[in-house]
Each structure stands twice: as C-alpha cells, then as structure tokens.
A and B are shown apart, each in its own frame.
Chain A
Amino acid sequence: MSETPIAKPVPEASPALAPFFAAARAGRLVVQRCAGCGALRFPPRELCSRCLGLEATWQDVSGRGEIFSYNVMHQVYHPGFAADVPYAVVIVKLEEGPKITSNLVGCPVDEIAVGMPVEVAFEQLSPEVTLPKFRRRRC
C-alpha cells in the first residue's frame, strides 16, 4: 500500500489567531494592540505583559521590517519539509516594533543577512489559511 506524501502543516486557525488569518486572507498584516497602554504585540496573548491589561484590538502594520535573526534548518522534523532542507526561518522585526517568525521567499539561503530590509508577501495555503511570508525589499 503506498502512502500519500505528508504535506506541510497548515496552522490551525485557533480563536486567538482567527483575526490574524482573516486579515492575511485579505492581504493585510495585523498585530495585537493593547487597549490599555497601546503596546503592539505578536504572537497574540491573553493579556498585555507591559500593563497587564486584558483588552486588545488588532491593528494593521506596514508589513515592512528587517531581518532580526535567522536560522537554517538542516534536520527534518516534519516530512513536509524533507524536500526543502536546507531552508531558512527568519525573525522579522517590523517597523512598528513587534517581531514575527516567518520565511523569506525568493532569496537563496546564503544571501540572507541580519539587517536585510524585507516586506510582507502573502502565500495562500488553503481557502482558509493564507500565510504571511516576506521578501527582500529594495530600499
């Protein structure tokens, strides 16, 4: 019996992340904003670790930022990535401050550098889930 190849994991649109994925489907990148102190944060949390406020909204951000750090994955932890190794995972520091873990598209692994300017690029995985990724940005 042959087995169907296992695809890359599609993230669960959990209640906490639902607004994030709804925005991504519409081509917008959003982060949480504390209603109490205005601090921006990502990934979403139940409360603000700056002022301990419980209320938060979601706010559009520019999608522009720079590579804060990155790694290059060689070991395969999930068969969906077996054909991709070595591939990079990046942390993008957005212009507005929050950091988001993602991938850089259209950039060879050995050209990635800390400080590289990037901008968001959306990748549709399924009708429900669109994933924000990033690409190099010309300054």
Chain B
Amino acid sequence: MTPKGRVAIAGLGLTPQGQVYDRTHVGFAVEAVRLALEDAGLARTDLDGLLLNPGLAWGDAAMGSFMLQQALGLRELRLSASMNLGGATAGAMIQHAALAIAAGMCTTVACVFADRPLKPPAERRSRGGEPTGSAAAYAFARGLDAAYGQFGINAIYAMVARRYMHVYGTTQDDLGAVAVAQRRWANMNPAAQFHDVPLTLGDYHASRWVVEPFHVLDCCLVSNGGAAVIVTSAERARDSKKPPVYVWGMGQGHPGGDPAERLASGAPLAKRTAFVMAGIETSDVQLCELYDCYSFTVLVTLEDYGFCRKGEAGAFVAAGHTAPGGTLPVNTGGGQLSSFYMWGMTPLVEAVIQARGEAGERQAPRRDVVLVSGNGGLLSTHSTLVVSPLPS
C-alpha cells in the first residue's frame, strides 16, 4: 500500500532569507515551524512528529530534533529524527513522514531545515587572500588536498563538472544558460535574494571565477534562515486553510562509487521508484523544481530524469525551454542560484507554492504534476518527489 494520494503537504513556513542575523539556527527552525502551522491553520498540539535536517550551524549537535522539540515546547511526539543526506534530505523527510503517517505511527509531522552559516559583517574573518590571519587560523589545511591548494566543495564539484564537459561536450555557455534562465524566474519572485538584479549571458561570463569551470554565478547562494512544511493525512489536509499538495510518488537513489567516473546523479534510480508509485512517465511532468547547488547540477538532473539525452540539456536550457514561457518550467522561484539556499527545502518550498497556484506573476501555466529533486554530496544522494494539487 503506497502513500499515493493519502498524504499531503498542508502547511509551508519560510523565514526571511539571506543576510539575516537576528536569530540563531534553532530560532530560525522554531520560526519556520510557527509560520508553517499558521499557514495550515494548525496548532502546535496538532503536531505529533518532528523531522529535522540540521544545517551547518548545528555542528555535531547530537539529537538535534530533540533540541528543536524542546525549543518548540512540543509534547507527546510519536516520531522524531535528525536526518542528513545533504541536499536530498528535504525530500527524504517528506518520505519518512508520509510512510509513518500511512503506517498509522503519527498523523501530523513538521519537516524542518534551518541554518545560519553567515556571520554578521563585524564578526567575519578577513577573506580574499589578505595575509592578516595567524598561521593557527589555517591549521585546517593539513591534508594532501590542501598541500596541492585544493580547498572547499566548489573545487571538488568543479572536477566532476570539468570531466562531464569533456565527455559530453557541455559548454560554459550551457552552464551560463541555467544561471540566466533561473534569474529570470527570480526576477518575478519577491522572496528571491536576486529579485531585483537582472542577468544576461554577458554578465554571467564577466562574473568572477571561483574555481573554473564555475563562475560565482554557477554556485548556490549562502543563506541564513529556516523552512518548514507540515505533512499530514489527506483527510486532515483537506481541513486546513490552504489547498493540499498531495504526494503522488517518492523514491531515493544513492548510486555509490566515484561520481567523476559515473557522471550521473541518483535520479535514474530514485525516479524509477517514484514514477511507478505516481503512475507517471517523464513526459507527464509539467513543472520541475530541481536541486541546484550548481548550474551544472541542473543540467545533469534534467538529463538523468530523461528530459534530454546526456550532453543535450545545455542546448535545451539555452533554447528557453526551462525559462518563463518555456515548455518545461524549471526552478521557477530562481532556485538556490538566485533565490535562497535552504538545501533541499528550496525546490520543495517552490513546488508547494506552484502546486497551490500561489506563485503570482511567476505561476507556471500547468501544475498538475510537479517533480521535486534533492541531491546531496557529489551527485551522491538523491530523492525524488512527485506532488500535485489533485488527490490522484
């Protein structure tokens, strides 16, 4: 028995995003849950499940979901977990919540992400190569990669992207086309950090390199903030203030091995499970919210879901198919490149807004079958959700 049509997202909470410093990571999480409950017209006492995807600011805090339960003053929970599959976690939280609800373990689950990676300007260490820090500040650089000057996630993702470009012929213009298309969506999203900043392909090429082949505009934003959704049974969701967004299908795919050899995400595996459950094929998808840690990730994901053949997503995006007015709207809020970086919650939040028909100026014309992807690590973990405003 699958959860298809029996479980729905009933509430959505999104705090202010970006350079926001007036709360801690726990504070952002509490605020997001409060907003999601208000949105659904539910009370705290209606919650009997809590799933948390702790962002970087949570550090190695053990039992984060319990910490959040206490901060929220929640009693008598029947489901609780901290989960981390990187960017695939948001989708996975919905899946665990849906399974627990379908199994009768609980009825109403808050799924939460919050982080506070940005420090206020006054607290920031000097960056950009000014040799003002003490040697002790660089004690992190002890490994082999550091000896060769390789630092940070951007650098290792760039290795996979470069290999991909070599094998499949993906070009710098292809990467830029993703950034430009998503910015056009962000320009219609008042909640996007880049709402007021238009972007051309020329601007993209002129933007600074972080690590080739990635310009700064190929990389996701970094945001402080929180996001939460309330998952409940279809019956309860129909009583809530907002239209339910039903879960049709869900799946995961974690392929293992070396991503630079594989040059594919976990989407093909996750999709198989999710699309069978939803009873759909790729051609039925009307709207995509795809995980976009980098512009590159969007191209890989479009190809891995079968919207294009390998190496052809760049041309597909450059032709305008994913942009406003295109045949397959993708990342309609601007994504993590242009709106805000809440890991897997960024695509999920926009999917809920679109499925409800609440997206205003940027509302996609068709929203009956919405695909949401999550991707963690170096194309390492993947979650798929198919959601819809229709029960089946």
Chain A-chain B contacts (Cβ-Cβ < 8 Å), number? 114
Contact assessment for A75 and B148 in the assembled complex, using a CB-CB cutoff below 8 Å: no
Q: Which one of B1-9, B33-41, B182-190, B206-214 is at the interface?
A: B206-214
Q: How far is the CB of B217 from chain A (nearest CB, A)?
A: 13
- Give which listed residue, A74, A101, A115, contacts B212 with CB less than 8 A: A74
Contact assessment for B131 and A82 in the assembled complex, using a CB-CB cutoff below 8 Å: yes
Within 8 A of A (CB), among B97-149: 127-135, 138, 141-149
- Give which listed residue, B142, B149, B162, contacts A73 with CB less than 8 A: B149
B143-158 Cβ-contact flags toward A at 8 Å (1 or 0): 1111111111011001
Q: Does A38 contact B (CB under 8 A)?
A: no
Contact assessment for A9 and B211 in the assembled complex, using a CB-CB cutoff below 8 Å: no
Most buried by A among B127, B144, B154: B144
Contact assessment for B162 and A114 in the assembled complex, using a CB-CB cutoff below 8 Å: yes
Beyond the given pairs A79-B129, A79-B130, A85-B129, 10 more chain A to chain B contacts, judged by CB atoms under 8 angstroms and listed by A's residue number, are A3-B132, A3-B134, A9-B142, A9-B147, A71-B211, A72-B209, A74-B209, A75-B152, A79-B133, A84-B149
- Give which listed residue, B131, B155, B258, B260, contacts A3 with CB less than 8 A: B131
Q: Does B262 contact A (CB under 8 A)?
A: no
CA distance A11 to B139 in the complex (A): 11
A73 touching B155 in the complex, CB below 8 Å, given contacts A68-B163, A78-B146? yes
CA distance A86 to B212 in the complex (A): 9
Contact assessment for A11 and B149 in the assembled complex, using a CB-CB cutoff below 8 Å: no
- Give which listed residue, B135, B150, B163, contacts A89 with CB less than 8 A: B150
Within 8 A of B (CB), among A61-93: 68-82, 84-87, 89, 91
Contact assessment for A114 and B166 in the assembled complex, using a CB-CB cutoff below 8 Å: yes
- Give which listed residue, A3, A10, A91, A103, contacts B149 with CB less than 8 A: A103
Q: Does B159 contact A (CB under 8 A)?
A: yes
Q: Does A6 contact B (CB under 8 A)?
A: yes
B195-237 Cβ-contact flags toward A at 8 Å (1 or 0): 0000000000000111111000000000000000000000000
Q: How far is the CB of A68 from chain B (nearest CB, A)?
A: 7
CA distance A12 to B299 in the complex (A): 38
A3 to B, closest residue via Cβ: B131
- Give which listed residue, B128, B142, B144, contacts A76 with CB less than 8 A: B128
A74 touching B146 in the complex, CB below 8 Å, given contacts A69-B162, A91-B159? no
List residues of chain B with CB within 8 A of the CB of A87: 149
A79 touching B131 in the complex, CB below 8 Å, given contacts A74-B208, A74-B209, A91-B260? yes
Contact assessment for A9 and B141 in the assembled complex, using a CB-CB cutoff below 8 Å: yes
List residues of chain B with CB within 8 A of the CB of A9: 138, 141-142, 146-147
Residue tally, chain A, CB below 8 Å to B: 41
- Chain B residues with a Cβ under 8 A of chain A: 127-135, 138, 141-152, 154-155, 158-160, 162-163, 166, 208-213, 258, 260
List residues of chain A with CB within 8 A of the CB of B145: 89, 101
- Please list 8 pairs of residues, one from A and one from B, whose beta carbons are closer than 8 Å in the complex, sorted by A's number: A9-B146, A71-B159, A71-B211, A78-B146, A91-B159, A91-B260, A102-B148, A114-B163
List residues of chain B with CB within 8 A of the CB of A120: none
- Give which listed residue, B148, B158, B209, B258, contacts A101 with CB less than 8 A: B148
- Give which listed residue, A6, A86, A131, contacts B133 with CB less than 8 A: A6
Contact assessment for B163 and A69 in the assembled complex, using a CB-CB cutoff below 8 Å: yes
A1-44 Cβ-contact flags toward B at 8 Å (1 or 0): 00111101111100001000000000000000000000000010
Within 8 A of B (CB), among A85-139: 85-87, 89, 91, 99, 101-103, 114-115, 125, 131, 133
A17 touching B166 in the complex, CB below 8 Å, given contacts A6-B138, A73-B150, A79-B138? no
B152 to A, closest residue via Cβ: A77
Q: How far is the CB of B273 from chain A (nearest CB, A)?
A: 25
B143 to A, closest residue via Cβ: A11
CA distance A91 to B210 in the complex (A): 18
Contact assessment for B211 and A73 in the assembled complex, using a CB-CB cutoff below 8 Å: yes
